[in-house]
Amino acid sequence: MADPRLPEPAAPETTPAEIQVIAARVRDRLAAVLDDEQQRWQPLDPDLAQPLASITRFVMSGGKRLRPAFCYWGFVAAGGRPDDGVVVDVGAAFEFLHAFALMHDDVMDGSATRRGQATIHTEFAGLHREHGWRGEPRRFGEGIAILAGDLAEVYADRLLLEVPHEARSLWQELKIEINVGQYLDVLGTVRGGTDLETARRISRYKSGKYTIERPLHVGAALAGGYTRLRPALSAYGAPLGEAFQLRDDILGVFGDTTRTGKPVGDDLREGKPTPLLAIAAQRCSGSDAALLARVGAPDLGDEEVRELQALLVACGAHDEIEQSIEQLTDQAVRAIDTVELPGGAREALQRLARYVADRTW
């Protein structure tokens, strides 16, 4: 390929007001739940303090709080009161559910870091080695991470005990969708698949729907407006969810580690079946195809990661994904451009769309 240049890193961004309006309240609710759990279980057995502390570190250290924000604006769009505590509880539930998904995802992918810190399974494997305990450190660490993720999911469900039936039904559906998408992702990784439609389907169900469209739906259901607003919220949320995951795919290959909290090129080492790679596979042949076939190899080195980055730019796959992100975001913004929503929800969602599409972390 003739052009080895890589895309310039974007400037850092600040959290928009549309997220800040709910983020601090959700953070306080998360802290209260986890503090109560520490006080509840540590007196029973001091050994229970460590896994709860690890869950707390994971949940409280970073994260974009996108899901609570979209839930909040779906709630406001349906006429919900901005100061209603129910949307804070459900926003916190989304954060616990996200923690569950990430903890399990890190085990499946064998990821060593998340948000710039050791993953749960890595942390506890290290603890096993440090104390010289019996058995295999890896199995111990992965077992604790699975349990920690399960506990986070229980906390999420507990926060939805009192919500309307429609909101609970949507919640259960989005959990099924997460698992369906995750299975397809794991399967696609081991198969080394490069089919574009399959890669898009995985992106949609593993991440896109539960990041934007479903939080909007749940928020609207909390305020009794799901049926009325579903067409508009889906017309906005579905394309934006896909744009969100496509941006994640770009960051997984080209992202700045100091912003993403994960090693650069991690998706290449894991062999994630992304649209970015599917497009490149359609366009490459000869030595370029041979290099692309190295994606997912356990011994993929840093130099090969740099060569793959250059290849993805030179073959036009990077630019095509960027164009898709722009088109999908424009589609989402247009979908609610003429929809009358109370509380400034329409304008907030339009601004959030640009943030989601252009983020660098």
What is the predicted pLDDT for the residue at 193? 65
Q: 158 and 212 in contact (C-beta within 8 Å)?
A: no
Please check the confidence at residue 194 and state whether its pLDDT lies above 70.
no
| Residue 249 counted as domain residue | yes
For residue 120 the two structure tokens come to 């749960």
Q: Does 299 or 360 have the greater pLDDT score?
A: 299
Q: What is the pLDDT of residues 115-160, one digit of tens each?
A: 888 999 999 999 999 999 999 999 999 999 999 999 999 999 999 9
What is the predicted pLDDT for the residue at 61? 86
| Residue 89 counted as domain residue | yes
What is the predicted pLDDT for the residue at 197? 87
Q: What is the pLDDT of residues 211-239, one digit of tens each?
A: 999 999 999 999 999 999 999 999 999 99
| Residue 5 counted as domain residue | no
Residue 287 structural domain? 17-358
Nearest to 96 by CA among 153, 50, 49, 35: 153
Mean pLDDT of 317-342: 95
Q: Count the domains in the chain.
A: 1
| Residue 9 counted as domain residue | no
| Residue 139 counted as domain residue | yes
Q: What is the pLDDT of residues 42-64, one digit of tens each?
A: 999 999 999 999 999 999 987 88
| Residue 35 counted as domain residue | yes
Mean pLDDT of 253-272: 79
b/e map 202-236, b = 16+ CB within 10 Å = bbbbbbbbbbbbbbbbbbbbbbebbeebbebbbbb
Please check the confidence at residue 173 and state whether its pLDDT lies above 70.
yes
What is the predicted pLDDT for the residue at 3? 40
The pTM of this model reads 0.92
Nearest to 78 by CA among 239, 241, 230, 240: 230
Mean pLDDT (the chain, rounded)? 91
Helices and strands: H and E segment counts in the chain: 17, 2
| Residue 8 counted as domain residue | no
| Residue 177 counted as domain residue | yes
Return the CATH number at 39: 1.10.600.10
What is the predicted pLDDT for the residue at 130? 96
Q: Provide the pLDDT confidence category of residue 257 given band limits of 50, 70 and 90.
A: confident
Q: What is the pLDDT of residues 338-359, one digit of tens each?
A: 899 999 999 999 999 999 999 8
Which residues fall within 8 angstroms of residue 170, CB to CB, at 6 or more apart?
A: 214, 217, 218, 221, 226
For residue 6 the two structure tokens come to 């890589």
Q: Provide the pLDDT confidence category of residue 14 given band limits of 50, 70 and 90.
A: confident
What is the predicted pLDDT for the residue at 202? 85
Mean pLDDT of 33-38: 97
Please check the confidence at residue 256 and state whether its pLDDT lies above 80.
no
